[in-house]
Amino acid sequence: MTERREILRTEGLWKRYGKITAVAGMDLQVYNGEVYSFLGPNGSGKSTTVGMILGLVRPTKGRALVFGANMATHPWPALKKIGAVIETPAFYPYLSGWDNLRAIAIALGDVPNARIHEMLELVGLRERGGDPYKTYSLGMKQRLGIASTLLRDPDLIILDEPTNGLDPAGTREVRELIPQLARQGRTVFLCSHLLHEVQAVSDRVAIVKKGRMVAQGTVAELLGHGQYLQMRAADNDALARALGSVPFVSAVERVDGFVRATAPTDRASELNKILATQEIYLSELKPWDMDLESVFLDLTGEELGQETAV
Amino acid sequence: MTMQRLMWMEFFKLRKRMMTWVVAGVTIGLIILLYTIIWSISGKAGSFRDNGSIVFYSQLRRSLFLEAGVPFSLQIVATFGSLLAIILAAGAAGGEYSWGTVRLMATASSGRLRLIIARFIVVAGLVALLTLMTAIVALAYSAIITQTNGGSDFSFITVGFVKDQWLAYGRTLYVMLPFVSLAFAAAVIGRSTLAGVGFGLGVFFVEPLVSELMRVGGSRWQHVPNYLLSTNRNVILLQNKFPPYLPRFSFGPSARDLQQQGAYAPTGAAIILGVYIVVFLTLAFVAYRRRDITAGTGA
C-alpha cells in the first residue's frame, strides 16, 4: 500500500477578470496515484483553475501548490514533473510530430531521442512521426498531445478532454491508459465532459459550477453508494405507502415501474421483513446507485454538452 | 545550461521554419540582384546626383569592387535587411500566439522570462548571421568583379581596413536592433505576427516622414527627430568608412544635413538607440512574464 501524499492543493483560489469572477474560492486536494476528475459545465472555471494550477494564470487571491511549489511564483520545480494537455493540443504546424516532441525534449533537457520514439510508438504515431503536424487529423493531434504529456515521465498528468476528436478505438485506448497511468504511481487530473466514462476511470471527482466547487468526493460517495434501494411489488402504490412509515426510509419516489427508497442497503433484508408483515411481497429488491450524470444535473442544474470527449 | 537549452530549442524551431530560409534567401538574393543591376547600369559614361553631390557612373561601379564591398553591402542590408529582420523577429515572437503554442512552451520551459530572453537572443543571433552571410556573399561577388576587371594587388587590406569592416558590421547590426526589438515587443504585446510586422515596418517607413514634418513644423518640433530612431540610425551608419575616392551612397540624409539638424554625435546616437532597445525589450519581457495565458493564444 503506497503512502497517501498530497500532490496538488489549492487554497481559496480566486480569479477575477474585471467584474467577472471566473473562480471563487476553489479548494482542491489531489493525492498521489489517484485519478481525480474535474467536472463542470462550460464557463464554470475549469480551464482557469487548471491555468492557475499550471502557473499560466495568476490567482487574484489564494494559491495553488503543486508538489509543494507555489505555482504563481516558482512553478518550474513542479512543472518539470507535470505533463499537461489543455483543450485542443497546439504544436508547431511546420514541424513534424517527431520534431515537435524533439523541441519539447530540448526545452526539458535530459530526454533522449529513444524516449521520443517510444512515445510516438505508444500513441500509434510511429509511422506518421516524420510528417508535418499540419497534416495530422484531430485524433492524431490529440495523440501527439498525449505523447508530449508523457515525454517527461511526469508524476502528475493533467488531461483536458484528452479524447476529443478520437475515434471509438482511440477513445477506448485512452480510457484504458488513464487507470494504467495511475497504477504506475502517477496522478491523473482529468477534465472531462463524458460523465459515464469519468465514472468508470475516476477515484475522486470534483464538480464545479460558476467558479465554485459544489461537490467533491469519491465516486461512490457522490453516487450515494449504499444509500438507495430499488424494489417492485404487485401493488406499487401500497408499497410506496408502506415505505413511508418505515423509520429508516428517508424518501420514496416512483420511477419507471419501480419504487426507489432512500435507505441503507445493508438493511434491505430488514426492510423486506417489515413489508412482508404488512402483506406486501416484493418481486424485486436491489441496491441502486445514482449515475454521475444525475448527480451532476442535481448539483449544477445543467446538462453537459454532447462532445465526444472522455 | 538552462538558457543554452532554451536557446538551442529556439534555434531548432527557427532553423526548421521555412520563413527563416525565405528571409535568408531574399536578403542574399537582393544583394546579388542589386549588384547585378548596379553593374549593368554603371557601364555608361556620365554622372547623376545623389544627396546633392555629383556622382560619376564609374564611381558607382567602383563601389562594387572589393575595397568597398563590405560597407556598400552593409549599407544595403541596413535598409532592406532591416525590413526582413523585422519580419523574422515578429514571426518568431508572434507565431507562438497564432499557433497556440505559447502555453505548450510556457509549461515546458524553465521560466517564461528565460524563454523569451532566449528567443530574442536567437532572433538577434540569426539577424547577425544573416547580415554576415550577406556581407560574405557581397564580398564573393565583389571578388569576382574585381578579378574579372583588372584584379587587385590587395594592398588595401591592412589591419585598419579589416577593423573598419568589422566595425561597419557591428554598427549595421546595432542600428537594426531597435527595429528588431520593436517588432519583437509589438508581436508579444499584440499577441500576433501581424502586430509585430505592422509596428516594425510602420515605424521604419513612417518615422522618417514624420521626422521631416517635425523639422518643417518649427522650433517646438524640429529637435524631436533627434531623439527618434531614424536620425540616430543615420548618424551611426554614416560612421561606416568608404574608400576616400568613392562617394557615399546613402538611403537617408547626408552628414552635413544631420549636422545642420543638430543631430547627436555618434556616441549620443548610440545611447539613444540603446535606450530604445532596452525599453522595447523590457516591455516585451514584462508582458510575456506577467500576463495570464488563459488559452492557447494567451489572454
Report pLDDT digits (tens) over B245-292. 666 655 567 777 777 777 778 899 999 999 999 999 999 999 998 888
* CB count in 10 Å sphere of residue A106: 20
Interface contact B295, partner A, CB < 8 A? yes
- Contact list, B110 vs chain A (CB under 8 Å): 76, 79-80, 107
Disruptive mutation site among B9, B104, B289 for chain A (greatest number of A CBs within 10 Å) = B104
Interface contact A215, partner B, CB < 8 A? no
Q: Which pLDDT does position A304 carry in this prediction?
A: 54
Question: Cβ distance B240 to B250 under 8 Å?
Answer: no
- In order along chain B (299 residues), what is the average pLDDT of each group of 10 residues? 90 93 90 88 78 74 83 83 92 91 84 92 95 90 87 82 90 95 96 95 92 82 88 88 65 71 86 96 93 62
CB-based burial label for A200 (10 Å; 0-12, 13-18, 19+):
middle
Q: Which pLDDT does position B104 carry in this prediction?
A: 86
In chain B, which residue ranges form alpha helices assigned H by DSSP? 2-15, 18-41, 57-62, 66-76, 82-99, 102-108, 112-148, 159-190, 193-217, 219-222, 229-237, 255-260, 266-290
| CB within 8 Å: B8 and A106 | yes
- For residues A85-110, give the mean pLDDT: 90
Distance CA B90, CA B192 (A): 8
Interface contact B49, partner A, CB < 8 A? no
How confident is the model over B210-258, as pLDDT tens digits? 988 888 877 778 888 889 998 899 899 888 877 766 666 555 677 777 7
CB interface of A with B, residues 126-165, below 8 Å: 148
Locate B242 and state its grid cell.
568608404
Locate A97 and state its grid cell.
510530430
The pTM assigned to this predicted structure is: 0.83
Taking alpha carbons only, the member of A138, A146, A128, A29 closest to residue A83 is A146
Q: Which residue of A has its CA nearest to B16?
A: A95
pLDDT-derived band at A215 (thresholds 50, 70, 90) equals confident
Locate B222 and state its grid cell.
524640429
Q: Output the CA angle B299-B12-B282, nearest 5 degrees.
A: 45
| CB within 8 Å: A148 and B106 | no
The count of CB pairs under 8 A between chains A and B is: 78
3-state secondary structure of B61: helix
- For residues A82-90, give the mean pLDDT: 84
Q: Which pLDDT does position B55 carry in this prediction?
A: 75
Distance CA B244, CA B59 (A): 11
Q: How many helices (H) and strands (E) does chain A have?
A: 11, 14
ipTM above 0.85, yes or no: no
Question: Cβ distance B64 to B35 under 8 Å?
Answer: yes
Beta bridge partner(s), residue A39: A207
Question: Cβ distance B111 to B290 under 8 Å?
Answer: no
Task: Give how far A202 is from chain B: nearest CA, Å.
Answer: 25
- Contact list, A76 vs chain B (CB under 8 Å): 110-111
- Contact list, A51 vs chain B (CB under 8 Å): 292-294
Which of B6, B16, B111 lies nearest to residue A99, judging by beta carbons? B16
